[in-house]
Amino acid sequence: MPVYTRWTLVFFVLFLLIMMCSSDYANPPGMKAPWPGGITFKVNQGNFGPISHNIPYTFYAWDFDLPLFTPVVAAADGISAVVAYKNDGYGNRIQIRHINGHYSLYAHLDSFCVYPGEKVLRGQIIGYSGITGYTNGPHLHFSIIDKRNYSLPSKFSDIGVPVEGEYCTSQNWLVCPTL
């Protein structure tokens, strides 16, 4: 094998290794916890949780233990794309489309405070937590998803990538628009 071919092979393998090791988060810039600032909730189930985060639609989801009727806020600025009940397990859900083309998903909600197509600000109350869809109790199922509903790896700027059992204090304070 000529020397240049060998080096090409070495660089190709190195390139593949770097690509495989580099993590890439799909969250919109500055994404924060999806409930009001200063409040702490526990992660009931993290990414790849064995109870229900074990399929591609939910691999990168979190279940936060929000009690019934807790305000749920937008994790980042965007446009509310889906505000609806569907019989697919998520119950009442909101999907907000963000600047990077992906969506944040808020599932099992009790009620909605936004209409489809509305511009929403990070920290704005979009709904209230509930027990709709397939769930044993009130909680918020949250993840970043693509347009085919597959969950994508993501990271919060305030609570990082929390794991099961962790207590997370939101820093998602509503920034009031200037009048």
Q: Which positions lie near Zn ion, rule CB under 5 A? A: 61, 63, 141
What sign does the CA torsion over 75, 80, 85, 87 have? negative
Least distance in angstroms from the C-beta of 51 to Zn ion: 8
Nearer to Zn ion, 5 or 136 (CB): 136
Whether the CB-CB separation of 131 and 89 falls below 8 Å is answered with no
Rounded distance, CA 179 to CA 169, Å? 29
The alpha carbons of the chain give a radius of gyration, in whole angstroms, of 19
Q: Which residue is nearest to Zn ion (CB)?
A: 141
Least distance in angstroms from the C-beta of 49 to Zn ion: 7
Nearer to Zn ion, 77 or 104 (CB): 104
* Whole-Å CA distances, 53 to 26, 125, 177: 17, 26, 36
Nearer to Zn ion, 98 or 139 (CB): 139
Least distance in angstroms from the C-beta of 95 to Zn ion: 15
Least distance in angstroms from the C-beta of 83 to Zn ion: 19
